[in-house]
Amino acid sequence: MDPMRRSLRLNRIKELFRGRPKAGFTTAELARATGVSQRTMQRDIEVLQREDGFFLDANTGRYSLPVEERLRSLDLNLQEARAILIATRLFLRYSDESEPHAAEALRKLAQIMPEAVRAQVKAAAETLVNRPLDPTFTRNITTVTDAWAKGRSLRMSYRSAGGKRPKEVILDPYVLEPSAAGAATYLIGYSRTHGQIRTFKVERIVSAEMLAQHFTLPPDFAVDDLLSSAWGIIWGEGTEVKLRFTKEVSWRVRESRWHPSQSIEEHDDGSCTLTISVASVMELGRWVRSWGDTVEALRPKALRSELRKEAERLAQQYASDPRI
């Protein structure tokens, strides 16, 4: 098949669906409308969804455009729009793939921004849309968002970290949470499969389906309370961590609120000790390493031992010229 002819045909299929978004078409109807076989049309539908991000709902052999729920418009002042823009810029920093919905939201935000900064907002939208498209992620995040907003359970095929085969999980989606450190989006909810609240990385979802059954968010659930022990996304019982920073960087440590549990002790020599309680020392480790030799891990012993062994390996690695 000539690539140009296929490209034109795919555009024609999109036009057909936009002209009849609710009723949709069967592959046989689309095949007749475009002059190809039904098997070719089935492949075209697969290409549209996998490579173009043109997602369709399938019901008893009939495809249609997903029904989009329109939200009420916002009446924002400049400072409120600025707050949304900064939050979106942070989203751009952690997101490593294209997000068509976020890009469209930025384009709409640009329309209400003052002329002097409108071009910057439009540029942010283009930056986002021009990143590599992962159709599976886009489809799954769309389904997850729909279920979360409608209070509906999800059936997910999920591949855990290092897992070879995905497993089925039935989940009540409570909240979506970004993680800048891992450039990822996480879904926290009650897993009916495991009988407890669990965290799932959206990028590891193989497929997701919104179920008919509804759930009610527990009145005592508060995501900020749940994550109060987390450095990133891992929550649970906290471990006390003590970090002593040299006087050269203690000013930087003191000027920020790094964690809800933190306390800072200042010393006569200008150094300071930061004490926090976190559920995952592993998550914290990357941040500790970013300070280089300006920080010393005092507790826990496991972290101190790990950093010492790593320093010994690094010293050995850099003791001689590189082998090229």
Q: Which CATH architecture has domain 3-64?
A: Orthogonal Bundle (1.10)
Intra-chain end-to-end CA distance of the chain, in Å: 47
What pLDDT, on a 0 to 100 scale, did the predictor assign at position 98? 67
**Can you name the residues that pair with 295 across neighbouring β-strands?**
245
Q: Are 294 and 274 in contact (CB under 8 A)?
A: no
Q: Are 108 and 74 in contact (CB under 8 A)?
A: no
Rounded to an integer, the average pLDDT of 304-317 is 94
What pLDDT, on a 0 to 100 scale, did the predictor assign at position 89? 73
CATH of domain 239-317: 3.30.70
Rounded to an integer, the average pLDDT of 137-166 is 89
The yes-or-no verdict on residue 152 having pLDDT over 50 is: yes
- 137-221 sits in which CATH class? mainly beta
Helix intervals (H) in the chain: 3-19, 27-34, 38-50, 78-94, 100-112, 115-129, 135-150, 223-226, 247-254, 281-289, 301-317
What's the rounded Cα separation, in Å, for the pair 112 and 106?
A: 10
Mean pLDDT for all residues in the chain: 87
pLDDT, one tens digit per residue, over 62-111 is 998 877 666 677 787 888 888 877 877 777 666 666 677 777 777 888 88
**Which residue, among 142, 160, 15, 125, has the nearest Cα to 69 in the 3D structure?**
142
**Phi/psi of residue 76, nearest 5 degrees:** -100, 140
pLDDT, one tens digit per residue, over 204-261 is 999 999 888 899 999 999 998 998 899 988 888 999 999 999 999 999 999 999 999 9
Q: Are 154 and 208 in contact (CB under 8 A)?
A: yes
What pLDDT, on a 0 to 100 scale, did the predictor assign at position 182? 65
Pairing verdict, β 239-245 and 205-214: unpaired
Distances (CA, A) of 98 to 10, 32, 131, 257: 21, 34, 5, 31
Rounded to an integer, the average pLDDT of 281-293 is 92
Q: Check residues 138 and 180 and name the one with the higher pLDDT.
A: 138
* Residue 220 CB neighbours (<10 A): 6
Task: Mark residue 216 as left, alpha or beta (left: phi above 0; alpha: psi -120 to 50; beta: remaining).
Answer: beta
Rounded to an integer, the average pLDDT of 169-195 is 88
H or E element in which residue 273 lies: strand 272-278
H or E element in which residue 63 lies: strand 62-64
What's the rounded Cα separation, in Å, for the pair 258 and 274?
A: 9
pLDDT, one tens digit per residue, over 12-35 is 898 898 888 888 899 999 999 999
pTM reported for the whole predicted model: 0.69
H or E element in which residue 297 lies: strand 295-299
**Which residue, among 133, 161, 144, 150, has the nearest Cα to 207 in the 3D structure?**
144
Q: Are 187 and 173 in contact (CB under 8 A)?
A: yes
The yes-or-no verdict on residue 49 having pLDDT over 80 is: no
Q: How many angstroms from the chain centroid is the CA of residue 158?
A: 15
Range scoring the smallest mean pLDDT among 71-75, 122-126, 151-155, 258-262: 71-75
What's the rounded Cα separation, in Å, for the pair 140 and 185?
A: 11
